């Protein structure tokens, strides 16, 4: 049955992993006064339960230093601007990137949304790469909330778009048929090209062209620090050409939640208004900002420099996979040359590949061996390295992949169920409540 707009509004059969018994799909029991008593189910990425979870760097848990800082955080009502921990985090982020101001928001999607609300007026247009998160993965928030369109650019396998084509993508404001271009947005690192970092020279050129048309440049830097570490550039150098940068605390930096929006004081003021518009004004949120302050710190508890370790682990994984019969190039932007997987494509923390097998069966085999990877776009598989995944974990993952390839040897991609190859069977669907895998020995406790 195809998913329709109407059917997509209905919840999946499981209410939510925390509100139902994940194995039976039963809705919660009711306790005193009819209130539901929720069953707590151990999730696969809980440290200590044996899973190596490479579905995303979003599965990371806060470090002990973060947890301590969260416990001890000084708090205030942030809607009044009174939370000293949030204020300190915002100052730190602005300073780190060499901009005037910064704003703490709930998520990367909200960071992009309030950035667009700040830069754009209703009816304007953004120029952005066709595969990027703003275009593909934010429920068309640009249209629904901001009231704008996106001119989608063809992208190259290094995550860039052709600069001549960019020059031609700006609208003619004198023509009443056309929207007025109000923003250029790039994604750094660029997810679909296997997390490639965009060079400073390229970012400068994009900014130059945008500015020549009187338009600002926004960088969706969900993994901005992965790019900075991979390129050996400071965050200030990286941020310099951009008018605004959104970066995530809750990915490679391992915070439990949060993103930052960074730019000029005027830009951040408008983003701050936008944040309230979308319900993102938070109160004693220093408990969360405290983790961000640790992550962005210079000392041994800081999480930026250690991203280099994730990049080495991704390369180690890619090299091991490339040597296996049955593992192939992912094709497309991730690796345009077909045939064997090229480990040289893994330059940050993403490894994307294809199996000459039934993908679902392969992923299930991995799961039964305590390894979680995720179905990614266009029939590929993605592995993301992050805090808590060691080189020896990578070796265990490789061992599990070898075994899973062996077990699924006769199962061709043709046998893959339509549900597994549909666009919905991507990283995002695989993390939806109904799809979260049940751990082998669930700990059911109250
Ligand atoms: C490039 C990019 N931008 C934005 C986001 C959105 O972040 P969040 O999941 O925190 O909304 C993501 C999330 O994966 C991303 O990969």
pLDDT tens for residues 349-399? Answer: 999 999 999 999 999 999 999 999 999 999 999 999 999 899 999 999 999
Q: Are 235 and 97 in contact (CB under 8 A)?
A: yes
Return the residue matching tokens 């990286």: 238
Tens digits of residue pLDDT in 228-277: 999 999 999 999 999 999 999 999 999 999 999 999 999 999 999 999 99
Nearest protein CA to atom 9 of ligand 1, as residue: 108
Cα 20 to chain center, whole Å? Answer: 27
Q: Dihedral sign for Cα 434, 436, 439, 443, please.
A: negative
Quickly state the pLDDT bin for 444 (edges 50, 70, 90). very low
Rounded to whole angstroms, the Cα distance separating 322 from 176 reads 53
Which residues lie closer than 8 Å to 384 by C-beta, 6 or more apart?
A: 54, 55, 56, 57, 195, 314, 349, 350, 351
- Residue 326: exposure state from Cβ atoms within 10 A (0-12, 13-18, ≥19): middle
The CATH class, in words, for 64-295 is: alpha beta
Classified as helix, coil or strand, 360 is helix
Q: Are 218 and 115 in contact (CB under 8 A)?
A: yes
Q: According to the model, what pLDDT value does residue 411 have?
A: 81
Q: According to the model, what pLDDT value does residue 103 have?
A: 98
Q: Tell me, using a 6 A CB cutoff, whether residue 381 lines ligand 1.
A: no
Q: Are 53 and 431 in contact (CB under 8 A)?
A: no
Q: According to the model, what pLDDT value does residue 30 have?
A: 61
Cα 193 to chain center, whole Å? Answer: 14
Tens digits of residue pLDDT in 194-209: 999 999 999 999 999 9
Going by their DSSP bridges, the two strands 381-384 and 374-375 should be labelled as antiparallel
Main-chain dihedrals φ then ψ at residue 429, nearest 5 degrees: -65, -35
Rounded to whole angstroms, the Cα distance separating 14 from 327 reads 33
Q: Looking at the domain 52-58+306-435, which fold is it? A: 3.90.1150
Ligand 1 pocket mutation, candidates 108, 116, 428, criterion most atoms within 8 A of CB: 108
What atom of ligand 1 comes closest to residue 109's alpha carbon?
11
Residues of the chain with CATH 3.40.640.10: 64-295
Q: Tell me, using a 6 A CB cutoff, whether residue 133 lines ligand 1.
A: yes
- How does 150-167 read in b/e, with b if 16+ C-beta sit within 10 Å? bbbbebebbbbbeeeebe
Rounded to whole angstroms, the Cα distance separating 19 from 40 reads 8
Classified as helix, coil or strand, 279 is coil
Cα 31 to chain center, whole Å? Answer: 38
Gap from CA of 216 to ligand 1 centroid (Å) = 21
Over residues 333-361, the mean pLDDT reads 97
> Residue 19 corresponds to which tokens in the numbers above?
């509100």
Rounded to whole angstroms, the Cα distance separating 321 from 316 reads 9
Supply the Cα-derived Rg of the chain in whole angstroms: 22
Q: Tell me, using a 6 A CB cutoff, whether residue 108 lines ligand 1.
A: yes
Q: According to the model, what pLDDT value does residue 36 have?
A: 58
Rounded to whole angstroms, the Cα distance separating 85 from 77 reads 11
Ligand 1 pocket mutation, candidates 222, 255, 432, criterion most atoms within 8 A of CB: 222
Gap from CA of 191 to ligand 1 centroid (Å) = 10
> Residue 194 corresponds to which tokens in the numbers above?
């296997």
Tens digits of residue pLDDT in 160-179: 999 999 999 999 999 999 99
Q: According to the model, what pLDDT value does residue 415 have?
A: 46
Q: Is the pTM of this model over 0.75?
A: yes
Rounded to whole angstroms, the Cα distance separating 249 from 106 reads 10
Q: Tell me, using a 6 A CB cutoff, whether residue 138 lines ligand 1.
A: no
Give the mean pLDDT of the chain: 89
> Residue 180 corresponds to which tokens in the numbers above?
């007025």
Closest C-alpha among 116, 98, 114 to residue 106: 114
Gap from CA of 116 to ligand 1 centroid (Å) = 15
Residues of the chain with CATH 3.90.1150.10: 52-58+306-435
Rounded to whole angstroms, the Cα distance separating 377 from 424 reads 9
What atom of ligand 1 comes closest to residue 427's alpha carbon?
14
Q: According to the model, what pLDDT value does residue 306 have?
A: 97
- The answer, yes or no, to whether residue 20 has pLDDT greater than 90, is no
Tens digits of residue pLDDT in 263-282: 999 999 999 999 999 999 99
Point out the least confidently predicted range of 219-228, 307-316, 433-442: 433-442
Gap from CA of 108 to ligand 1 centroid (Å) = 5
């Amino acid at each position: 049955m195809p998913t329709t707009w109407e059917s997509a509004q209905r919840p999946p059969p499981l209410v939510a992993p925390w509100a139902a018994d994940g194995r039976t799909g039963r809705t919660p029991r009711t306790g005193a006064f009819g209130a539901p008593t929720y069953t707590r189910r151990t999730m696969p990425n809980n440290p200590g339960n044996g899973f190596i979870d490479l579905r995303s760097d979003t599965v990371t848990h806060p470090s002990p230093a973060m947890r301590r800082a969260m416990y001890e955080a000084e708090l205030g009502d942030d809607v009044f601007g009174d939370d000293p921990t949030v204020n300190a985090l915002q100052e730190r982020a602005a300073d780190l990137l060499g901009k005037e101001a910064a704003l703490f928001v709930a998520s990367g999607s909200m960071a992009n949304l309030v950035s667009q609300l700040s830069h754009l007026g209703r009816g304007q247009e953004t120029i952005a790469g066709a595969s990027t998160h703003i275009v593909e993965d934010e429920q068309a928030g640009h249209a629904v909330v901001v009231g704008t369109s996106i001119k989608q650019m063809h992208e190259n396998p290094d995550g860039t778009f052709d600069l001549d084509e960019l020059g031609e993508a700006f609208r003619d404001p004198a023509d009443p048929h056309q929207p007025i271009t109000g923003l250029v947005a790039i994604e750094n690192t660029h997810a679909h090209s296997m997390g490639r970092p965009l060079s400073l020279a390229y970012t400068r050129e994009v900014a130059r062209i945008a500015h020549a048309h009187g338009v600002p440049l926004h960088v969706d830097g969900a993994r901005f620090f992965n790019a900075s570490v991979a390129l050996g550039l400071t965050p200030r150098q990286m941020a310099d050409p951009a008018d605004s940068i959104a970066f995530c605390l809750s990915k490679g930096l391992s915070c439990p939640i949060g993103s930052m929006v960074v730019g000029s004081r005027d830009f951040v003021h408008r983003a701050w208004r936008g944040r309230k518009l979308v319900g993102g004004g938070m109160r004693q949120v220093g408990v969360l900002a405290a983790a961000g302050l640790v992550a962005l710190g210079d000392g041994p508890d800081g999480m930026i420099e250690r991203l280099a370790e994730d990049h080495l682990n991704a390369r180690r994984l890619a090299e091991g996979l490339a040597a296996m019969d049955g593992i192939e190039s992912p094709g497309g932007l991730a690796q345009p040359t077909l045939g064997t997987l090229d480990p040289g494509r893994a330059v940050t923390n993403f490894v994307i590949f294809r199996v000459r097998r039934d993908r679902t069966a392969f992923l299930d085999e991995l799961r039964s061996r305590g390894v979680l990877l995720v179905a990614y776009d266009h029939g590929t598989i993605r592995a993301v390295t992050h805090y808590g995944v060691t080189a020896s974990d990578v070796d265990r993952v490789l061992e599990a992949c070898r075994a899973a390839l062996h077990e699924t040897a006769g199962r061709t991609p043709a046998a893959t169920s339509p549900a597994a190859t549909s666009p919905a069977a991507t990283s995002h669907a695989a993390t939806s409540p109904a799809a979260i895998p049940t751990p082998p020995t669930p700990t059911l406790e109250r």
